[in-house]
Structure 1
Amino acid sequence: MKNIFKIFLLGVIASFIISCQQDDDKAMLNNTSQSTLSVNKTSIVLDETIADQAALIFTYKNPTFSPAVQFTNAVEFAVAGTNFNPSTTRDVAMDQNTFSLTHLQLNNILADLSIAPNSLKTIEVRLKSNVNTVTPFHSNVLTVSMTGYTPNPDLIFPKINVPGGYAGAAGYADWTPANAPNLFSPGKNSQYRGFIYVNASNSEYKFTINQDWAGDKGDDGTLTGKLVETGEQNIKAATAGAYYVKVDWTANTYSSILANFGVIGDATPTGWNSDTDFVYNPTTKTYVINSIALNSTGVFKFRANDDWQLKFQPASVDQTLSSGTGVQSFMSSEGTVTGDPAYKVGAAGNYKIELDLHNAAYYKLTVTKL
């Protein structure tokens, strides 16, 4: 029994010694020189018209360690005075000593930090070097004054293209991926959705990505919503009208349903009994009711196919619209609407109503008093 106890005690002592040795090994990592970071500007007003151009150019020097270890770099951003909590990072290549960030990239960084567009904010920036599980090492801290902008959803959400023989009549160009309606991914993943308008029955189309024919997809020939890249067939729209199209690019599936919208409600001349339908305008690529009388005591919504399955509404509460000011609208079937809210106008009169459905990440509604 004593021998067993001695063996156990020796094991505990050995484990303690090894643990101490491991702690000593960790403690021996020495940051022999700190990383450095500099930038070419100390203030910047971001500009969406040059979104893909470099806004800031950074120059950096890697840290050194003894013993030499592998590490990764990222540039870290935070609002000044927050001690980098919260923060957002962007990876930095290890084999260079300079990198740039575009107006769009910086605007997205400000959005990550929940900074309102068009407001000046002082941002702190540092290089963050990670060595396995060791606490990160940081460079000096820079301060840059930045003013962001309200981003154009056409530029920040992924999209695929829907070229076809219908596109020319819809204000685009026939069978031209670079000039075709798009389906967008609000979730920034492989799932895309949106609207196309065809003016003739049996109009044909396919799906492309990157505004090019490389990797285009079509129906697998079974007409059961399956996509293939090789041996594909054109998809057909059975009748003229607006179609709500959904594509999962990774799962190779699609769906398409007719969705002709109209306005309905007790603010309209026909009340809740019938809809006043939109007409597609290929010049503006929007759906328009050129003139309709609206009262200021009732409300209205937009529904498809004289049914309530697809509705455009405010996000959560009734919304009074200002003449000529576009607002984001939401489709209930996409899970972006809470409750059953409706729209209002502040003054009775004749109005033009316009629905811009070209981007499923930002449906836009505008009512204009005539």
Structure 2
Amino acid sequence: MKHLFKIFAVALMAILFISCEKDEDQAILGDGTTPTLKADKTSVVLIKDNEANPAIKFDWTNPQFQTQVALKNTLQLAKTGTNFQSPGESIVTANDLKVTYTVAELNKLGLDAGLVPGVATTVEVRLKSEVGKTVLYSNVVTLTVTTYLTAYPSFYIVGDASAVGWNAGTSQLLYQKDNFSTIYTYLENGKYFRFLGQQDWNPLNYSLDVAGMNAGNRYFKTWSTNLAPSTPENIQFTGATGMYKIVIDADATQKSINVSASPIAVWNPANLYLVGTVNGWNSAAAIPMTNLGNGKFEHTIALPAASEFKFLGQLSWGDLDWGNISADGNTGYLGPKGSNGNIKFDGTGGNYKISVDLKMGTYKIQPL
């Protein structure tokens, strides 16, 4: 019994010693002084032709603690009156005590913060300094910034919630028109996905803008209720498994993603038929395609100039009707009945392989 008591006493003393050490460390660190920030301009008009030119310089002083510490400094820029809820952020090297942003760099910060291109906007800038769990903010610097419109980003879907899986090399690009990117595709309940800016894991990734998400992944300001953040990188799909229309609005004031049910829930019909100028638009005599499984079909056919066609899931003009997304054309993206047009293709009269992936929401026309 005495032996057990000694062991207990030693363990208790060790716990008290560690606790005292932590308290002592906190006492040595102290609360820290407030960092300061200043800028060399109060108004900046950004012009795309000058992207490589210096736009603005910031100088700061770091917070001082009772002992030397390693700081993580982040410059935050937000529209005035938003209380820095959705700022543009840039990590800066604490010991440099200054940073100069080029026109392109400051423009990105402004767009990330939701500034409308071409409109002079009052913004607030501050320095966020972190050491451990201690976070200190500098004074706020007020500026007027006019950003410019850059090219809208490309969005490639990847993840096990999608028809692609976790393969960046085969991630699927969404159809882009102006600031909108759209696709009718398959999503699986309870699984995860995100968007890439290229068919690679780097450098661009896009996910929901929430606390805990990697800084480089934070993009979408608003999203539909069937999406949830999965920190630190991904988005979880919480809707029922099936076909959905994904719409991304990349306008700097929006940065939204909406996922809604596709008008056609079927993605793996038993049959798919080709109808159009190739058969006189006779749905009852539509041309059967070869079923490859998992929503994929193909057919080889001679296509002359001014060919037009669509795909049917039955030998009639019924509900299973797919064509070019939104309107007549040849984008390579499928749209369901009510949201499509004819696929238009100028063939040479030679043979072409037409491939359809209903699950992915795409089609291809390849010469043989």
Please tell me the TM-score bracket, short chain as reference: 0.3 to 0.5
TM value normalised by structure 1: 0.42
